[in-house]
Amino acid sequence: MSIFSAIIAREIPADIVFESERIIAFRDIAPRAPMHLLVVPKTEDYANVVELSAGDPELLAEMVAVAQDLASEHADGEFRLVFNTGANAGQSVFHVHAHVLAGGLTEGSLGGE
């Protein structure tokens, strides 16, 4: 089970800001921007965004829509969406997730590094 599945199952705590049938979103434990949320599909079937876009593009589109809604709710509606893909690119959790960063972004706010 991934650490994100443990959050979905409420086995470990998280600051959950959104939940639907297929998606959950919560605050990143090590924020790199004033708003740093993770948008995560509940399924563990996809390790990264490349697998997700090939396997379930509608779910990827749903993640983007959730990111927009959360950036509007928690910041000014503008946001950076980051999918680290592969360990050499900074991915540490191999359960696909989007970093949604907003509010006073700097060049160092790329997520995952």
47 binds ligand AMP (CB under 6 A): no
Distant-in-sequence, close-in-space partners of 96: CB < 8 Å, separation ≥ 6: 40, 41, 46, 47, 48, 49, 51, 52, 83
Q: Show the DSSP H helices in the chain as ranges.
A: 3-8, 49-55, 57-74
Question: Mask 79-108, x = binds ligand AMP (CB under 6 A)?
Answer: -----x-----xxxx---------------
Residue 97 annotated in active site? yes
**Eight-class DSSP state of 28:** -
Paired tokens of 42: 């509940």
- Site string (13-42) toward ligand AMP, x via CB under 6 A: -x-----------x-xxx-------x----
- End-to-end Cα distance, the chain: 23
Write down the least CB distance from residue 42 to ligand AMP, Å: 15
Q: Under the phi-then-psi rule, with left for phi > 0, alpha for psi from -120 to 50, and beta for the rest, what region is 112?
A: left
| Contact flag: residue 3 with ligand AMP (CB under 6 A) | yes
Considering the complex, what minimum distance in angstroms separates the CB of residue 78 from ligand AMP? 20
Identify the residue whose tokens are 């060049």.
Answer: 107
Nearer to ligand AMP, 21 or 87 (CB): 87
- Write out the catalytic residue numbers: 97
Instruction: Point out which residues bind ligand AMP (CB under 6 A).
Output: 3, 12, 14, 26, 28-30, 38, 84, 90-93, 111-112
